[in-house]
Amino acid sequence: MTLPFSQTNLSEFGLNQFDIVEMNERTILIKKWNWDYSLAHKFQRHCLELLEDYSNIRFIICCSHPRVFTNGRGLQKPKKGETLSLVEFDKSLASTLPYPFFQIERGGGLTFHHPGQMIIYPILRLNPKTLSLSAMIDTLFDEAINVLKDWGIEGLSHENKLLGLWHGERKLASMGIAIERLSTFHGMALNFHDDLEMKKALTLVNPCGLNSETYTSVEELMSLGTKSLEVFSNEYLRRLSHAWK
């Protein structure tokens, strides 16, 4: 087991030592599909505590969750001169949702998770000279774009007044970050496979303040053939490990 986790009871978080890999000398990967959201959230908090003693280490969590809704601190605010037509989620309706609901610390509004997503939680110490928040977010989006461009999907961009990874007017990935003591947690959720049950549930809400029809997936944008979420995540993480040596 890598040094930062030598005193950690991994089973407390639903993990084992085979879920943890050293990507490079500074970056530790934790990979777990269909991970219980509450356990993953608790583990993010644990990694934040470890950063107090291992500030030069980056923890990258790659995972998915069972169907769940999470709600952040609030929707994106418009810049001066902008107008954003976003619909705030009424938290009094949380008990009527068909899947568990969590109120959490990240920025952004209501979003959704399901087993067909790839979620990346970067837990690392920001540094204005070596890795700023904006540079970190750009890299998370850019490496997804690079993989998908190699797969034949053109026209992806995160240069939009609304934060996210976009294919024209359709949103492929969402981003919501929290920062405590200059360290980040939460992160990016990229829709890889469609989830018909979650799609049905999204008609009841406005994810990130948007109409549910705004969202797309890799599976909608291309014929996957032999491509899989596992293949995508491996290619994505390989690129990320080179970007963050």
pLDDT at position 128, please? 84
- Other Cβ atoms less than 10 A from the Cβ of 86: the count is 16
Question: What is the average per-residue pLDDT within 119-127?
Answer: 96
- What is the arithmetic mean of pLDDT over 50-70? 96
SS3 sequence of 28-76: EEEEECCCCHHHHHHHHHHHHHHCCCCCCCEEEEEECCCCEEEEEEECC
Instruction: Provide the pLDDT for residue 2.
Output: 73
37-41, 210-214, 229-233: lowest mean pLDDT where? 210-214
Q: Which CATH number fits domain 3-243: 3.10.129.10, 3.50.50.60, 3.30.930.10, 3.40.1190.10?
A: 3.30.930.10
What pLDDT is recorded for position 80? 67
Q: Which two tokens stand for residue 207?
A: 């994810």
Q: Which residues 6+ apart lie within 8 Å of 200 measured at CB?
A: none
Cα dihedral 193/32/4/8 (nearest 10): 140
Task: Calculate the CA dihedral of residues 116, 207, 187, 78 and round it to 10 degrees.
Answer: 150
Averaged over 109-122, what is the pLDDT? 97
CA dist 126 and 144 (Å) reads 21
H/E run at residue 24: strand 20-24
What is the average per-residue pLDDT within 188-192? 98
pLDDT digits (tens, 9 = 90+) for 136-156: 999 999 999 999 999 999 999
Mean local confidence (pLDDT), 69-93: 86
Which pLDDT belongs to residue 76?
86
**Confidence (pLDDT) at 1:** 55
pLDDT band of 83, cuts 50, 70, 90 = confident
One-letter identity of residue 22: E
The average pLDDT across 193-200 equals: 96
pTM of the model: 0.96
Strand, helix or coil for residue 176: strand
Do the Cβ atoms of 146 and 152 come closer than 8 Å? no
Looking at residues 69-79, what average pLDDT do you find? 89
**Residue 208 annotated among the catalytic residues of the structure:** yes
pLDDT above 60: residue 239: yes
Distance, CA of 212 to CA of 204 (rounded, Å): 8
Q: How high does pLDDT run on average in the chain?
A: 95
CA distance linking residue 20 with residue 29, whole number of Å: 6
Average pLDDT score over residue span 111-123: 98
* 239: CB partners within 8 A, 6+ apart: 143, 146, 147
In this prediction, residues 23-27 reach a mean pLDDT of 92
